[in-house]
Amino acid sequence: MNIVKKIIILFMCVSSIIQAQSATNGLDDKQRAIITISAHTARGEIRSLKTALETGLDAGLSINETKEILVQMYAYCGFPHALNALNTLMAVVEERKESGKTDIEGTEPNLLPQNTNMLEYGENIRTQLVGYPVVGKVYEFCPIIDEYLRSHLFGDIFSRDNINYQYRELATVSALAGMNLENQLRSHLSICKKLGFTKDELQEFTSVISTKIGFTEGETASRVVAAIFSEDNKTNRDIEMKRITFPNRNITVVGNLFLPTDFEENKKYPAIIVGHPAGGVKEQTAGTYARNLAEKGFITLAFDASYQGESGGEPRGVEDPAVRTEDFRCAVDYLSALPYVKNIGVMGICGGGGFAIAAAITDHRVKAVAGVSAVDLGQLRRDGMNGSLNATIQSRLDAVAGQRTIEAKGGEIKYANYVPNSLEEIPANAPKMYREGYEYYRTPLAQHPRSTNKYTFTSLDKLISFTAFDHLELLAPRPLLMIAGSEADSFYYSQDAYDRAGEPKELYKVQGASHIELYWKPEYVKEVTNKLNDYFTKYLIQR
């Protein structure tokens, strides 16, 4: 590369960094430090690593977060590099302490129970990150390397929860970029994109690599970033995914529209709207089912509820059943306007199932309805699981009234959690669903940066007066399918909906499954997907 070209690239890189740093969606100081820490570790550049570590600690990385990044590095660049980096960190921390600097210690990771099947757990994490089960000839040629990847890297390492997936994957792509490993870099940058990193943020990542690590490495990273954003989100199975928006009153709702293999705009396809659970986002279980059903030949739409995920609405985290049900109707509006859509069905998981049913009752454009582990979130907030909160309804409404007054006077918004944030927060007598909810939403199993586990406390007055299954008899003669695990704490909600509905209706039990296991466990997701495919084929295609 001649000197003029190098100067031009350097100027462009510096300009990109300045622009990205001034943008609201750019990388923060901690993320930029993770890039240089990981890349210098992978390259064995100890002197540069020492500077990068000091920069990271100054930016607010805790000692334990930094340790965790360096521990993960051994899986990508080997024990010698990781151990040398940890020795360097130890020396840096000691020097800073002697000079009077106090660094944040940070939290230790919560560890999984000793009886956890790490091979299965790691496979589930990898599938969640990539978006589909990973296969390859190299794994058939040497199965043990696949076992190590699943049980150790994605199991033992990725289950440690004191840094999130975004940090882990940013560290990974930085190490891969530093070693100029293009194939692996492409795979993990695709994961970064799936985790919510924007094009601007990943372009800034490439600029940091160019200026701090090397021009050649930066050019490779830049080429890969450009490629993954030019593919319009096609999966390895040629399922095309488009980011779309539609309005719900003055709120912009954001969704992922999945188009089936060999999609042609001049043909007509049945479509299915998929609603996520309370506290979830479209990239989790809703996206899994949307993609699976697109593989079966349906157009599918998974969206973030108003006030949640990527969708608009302030304050964040409002859980308003009127708006939630209207989200589904507005999604039907969107699909109805597409020239290649014929016959629309809706489905939802957990609380999304209740809202999907409530919307479909009065929207005759919906030709078939399904719930997976469906819950009436109004009844759940009113009564608790199996009536456990009946005695506290009035006191909780008193608390909501008081909080509304506080917020009306300009006070701070109060939030409640959907699930416990830690094992210590789980009561001894808590239903299995809440323990599994923690494992799904708050550990690397399905953790997502936009799934914040918070809803506004004042949402309770709206939820408590709502019942998802009121007037369910009006749905007939349109069909209803309720799918629930035979071992689910919440099974009685599906039974209640089934009992209220007219024919045609079906209550399908997944034997041995719990509530949350229908979200992610491969064998159950496969069974549920096949049942949904049969059901929607019958009522959206064959009729």
Tens digit of each residue's pLDDT (9 = 90 or more) over 163-172: 999 999 999 9
Which residues of the chain does CATH 1.20.1290.10 include?
3-111+163-230
Instruction: Identify the CATH homologous superfamily for domain 240-384+462-541.
Output: Alpha/Beta hydrolase fold, catalytic domain (3.40.50.1820)
Are 448 and 283 contacting, i.e. CB atoms less than 8 angstroms apart?
yes
Give the mean model confidence (pLDDT) for residues 379-387. 93
Residues 6+ apart with CB under 8 A from 313: 251, 306, 307, 323
Are 462 and 322 contacting, i.e. CB atoms less than 8 angstroms apart?
yes
Taking the C-alpha atoms of residue 280 and residue 455, their distance in angstroms, rounded to an integer, is: 11
Give pTM, 2 decimals: 0.65
Give the mean model confidence (pLDDT) for residues 510-530. 94
Task: Inform me whether the pLDDT recorded for 109 exceeds 60.
Answer: yes
Task: Inform me whether the pLDDT recorded for 8 exceeds 60.
Answer: no
pLDDT recorded at residue 290: 95
- Which one, of 316, 331, 309, 299, lies nearest residue 415 by Cα? 316
- Which one, of 162, 216, 161, 153, lies nearest residue 188 by Cα? 153
Give the mean model confidence (pLDDT) for residues 176-184. 94
Taking the C-alpha atoms of residue 194 and residue 479, their distance in angstroms, rounded to an integer, is: 34
Pairs from 437-442 (Cβ < 8 Å, separation ≥ 24): 437/279, 437/516, 439/516, 440/516, 440/519, 440/520, 441/279, 441/280, 442/161
Its CATH architecture, for the domain 3-111+163-230, is Up-down Bundle (1.20)
Are 178 and 38 contacting, i.e. CB atoms less than 8 angstroms apart?
yes
pLDDT recorded at residue 57: 96
Give the mean model confidence (pLDDT) for residues 309-338. 97
Task: Inform me whether the pLDDT recorded for 113 exceeds 70.
Answer: yes
Give the mean model confidence (pLDDT) for residues 369-379. 97
pLDDT recorded at residue 236: 42
- Which one, of 324, 296, 295, lies nearest residue 308 by Cα? 324
Which comes out higher in pLDDT, residue 10 or 279?
279
Give the mean model confidence (pLDDT) for residues 468-492. 97
Tell me: the pLDDT tens digits for 228-238?
A: 887 544 444 46
Task: Inform me whether the pLDDT recorded for 289 exceeds 70.
Answer: yes
Are 435 and 425 contacting, i.e. CB atoms less than 8 angstroms apart?
no
Which residues of the chain does CATH 3.40.50.1820 include?
240-384+462-541
pLDDT recorded at residue 127: 85
164-178, 276-290, 433-447: range with lowest mean pLDDT: 433-447
Give the mean model confidence (pLDDT) for residues 261-289. 94
Give the confidence band of 25 by pLDDT, cuts at 50, 70, 90: low
Give the mean model confidence (pLDDT) for residues 310-330. 97
Q: Omega before 504 cis (within 30°)? A: yes
Q: What is the mean pLDDT of the chain?
A: 90
Taking the C-alpha atoms of residue 221 and residue 185, their distance in angstroms, rounded to an integer, is: 8
Tell me: the pLDDT tens digits for 197-226?
A: 988 899 999 999 988 998 889 889 998 998
Give the orientation angle of helix 29-43 with respect to helix 79-98, to 10 degrees: 130
pLDDT recorded at residue 489: 94
Give the mean model confidence (pLDDT) for residues 139-158. 91
